[in-house]
Chains A and B, each alone.
Chain A
Amino acid sequence: MGRRRSFDVDETVEAAADLFARRAYDGVSIDDLVTRLGVHRNSLYSVFGSKRGLYLAALRRHVEQDVRPHLARAAQPEHVPAWDFLLVAAVDRAPDDPEVAGLVSSVFAEVDEATGDPRATEVLLGRWLRGRAEAVRHGAADVPTIRDAPETAPGKEI
């Protein structure tokens, strides 16, 4: 595997976001990052300071690029957002990391503004959560992000 001494920071952060979204914080080791991102270990430390530093950079990038530009769509009924990393971070890291908690809370407040009603935000988040399980049941387990609402029969029993 090719390790590069100089590397594209944005590309690295994007790849890290994908890894953290799928495996959560503790499921990603520095070995995984070095191997999957093709980045020299020393470079990783000198650029990001720590695994947490890279995680925060990845989460901020996800919020800036994947969440904030799509807030307007949050108000659309049946829309399931592709915000896996944000929501995994809310469950996985927010209880342990005040900085993650602060970022997640402020994004949820922005979603409230976009939907115009906190309850609409909760419906949206609930739909995302249900979509996670539905995607697996529909054989889409390998799809890293859920981009569209899964087809569900109306009035189906849970």
Chain B
Amino acid sequence: MATISVQGQDLVVEMNGLDKLWSLKSKLTIPLAHVRGATVDPGILGEPKGIRAPGTHLPGVITAGTFHQDGEKVFWAVRDALKAVVVELADEHYTRLVVEVDDPRAVVAMVEQATSR
């Protein structure tokens, strides 16, 4: 589980509890100008994820860490697919973040509001 918030001109993604350990990241800070959008997407967990390095992947249990696929780097931190949110980035280390949040719809609304200002 992650907590996503808007702090000033940044989108801040903080891993909660042990997810820090599985994903080997505790916090990601991304300028809002580099955020292209956010989408509720439970189905993405069923997609091929590419090569994991580094991180933790126990299919059906947890997908966490950095995955490489088709030249894209995707950060994952998801246990419960129903709560997965996809955040698309530009000009960042990661092409995309796929993270589990408590309230996906609220997070998407918050990101859309913050990026369309």
Chain A residues, Cβ within 8 Å of B44: 30, 41
Chain A residues, Cβ within 8 Å of B109: 96
Is residue B31 within 8 Å, beta carbon to beta carbon, of the partner chain?
no
What interface size band does chain A fall in? 10 to 19
Alpha-carbon gap, A98 to B116, bound state (A): 9
Q: A45 touching B86 by the CB < 8 A rule?
A: yes
Measured CB to CB, the closest approach of chain A to B61, in angstroms, equals 21
Best-buried of A29, A49, A97 by chain B (most CB within 10 Å): A49
Q: A46 touching B37 by the CB < 8 A rule?
A: no
Q: B39 touching A50 by the CB < 8 A rule?
A: yes
Q: A53 touching B72 by the CB < 8 A rule?
A: no
Is residue A31 within 8 Å, beta carbon to beta carbon, of the partner chain?
yes
Measured CB to CB, the closest approach of chain A to B66, in angstroms, equals 15
Name the contact of A42 in the complex, choosing from B42, B43, B70, B108 (C-beta under 8 A).
Answer: B70
Chain B residues, Cβ within 8 Å of A31: 42-43
